[in-house]
Amino acid sequence: MSGKTALRRELLAARRLLSEEDARNASAVLARRALELPEIAEARTVAAYVSVGGEPGTRALLDALRERGVRVLLPVLLPDDDLDWAAYEGAERLVPAGRGLLEPDGARLGVDAVLQARVVLLPGLAVDGRGMRLGRGGGSYDRVLGRLEKAGAGAALAVLLYDHEVVGRVPEEPHDRPVHIAVTPGGTRRFESA
């Protein structure tokens, strides 16, 4: 078993132990902290995602961004695991998709739509002191990060996590890219290496 696989299992098990109340409270704090980021305050377009299961909640944040007039792009999983994008138009416009995910029911904007985002909020399971993010292992966001880098997009990359998910070291592979910011209920951390 690889180091990434073992760490994923450990972190997913810890998420399953969180009570619904703890997760709900964390979601509210995360939304508030993320909205305080200068990068988000200045953004006209933010790429985000709809949290599912035990993930740190994004719903309050999505609604708050939309209320501010920010254009929020959400991923639409393609058959090859790449990500298309569609605009968030409210929770009532989210529909079930594969793998237990929710996605917008609106027009698809293409895989390059993410290049318009000033901030990209990435799902993750952990981040280390260098800003290296551990994802779920599907590679969808590795493609997004590669696309952003190739285009020189300059978007701020942020991951929303629980406090215990800031770890000593995340195993990395050559294609892995660091994030700029980790937002947890306990605070915000910025990474110089990104």
- Tell me how far apart the alpha carbons of residues 73 and 171 are, in angstroms, rounded to a whole number: 29
Q: Please give the pLDDT value at position 67.
A: 96
Q: Please give the pLDDT value at position 137.
A: 79
CB 194 within 8 A of CB 131: yes
**Which domain range does residue 14 map to?**
3-190
Q: Please give the pLDDT value at position 194.
A: 52
State how many domains the chain has. 1
CA distances from 67 to 30, 72, 93, 120, 154 (A): 17, 10, 15, 18, 25
- Tell me how far apart the alpha carbons of residues 146 and 80 are, in angstroms, rounded to a whole number: 16
- Domain with residue 106: its CATH number is 3.40.50.10420
Q: Please give the pLDDT value at position 180.
A: 96
pTM for this one? 0.93
pLDDT tens, per residue, the chain with 194 residues:
578 889 999 999 999 999 889 888 999 999 999 999 999 999 999 999 999 888 999 999 999 999 999 999 999 999 999 999 999 999 999 999 877 889 999 999 999 999 999 999 999 999 999 999 998 878 899 999 999 999 999 999 999 999 999 999 998 888 888 999 999 999 999 998 65
- At 94-113, the pLDDT tens digits run 999 877 889 999 999 999 99
Place of tokens 């969180």: 18
Q: Please give the pLDDT value at position 1.
A: 58
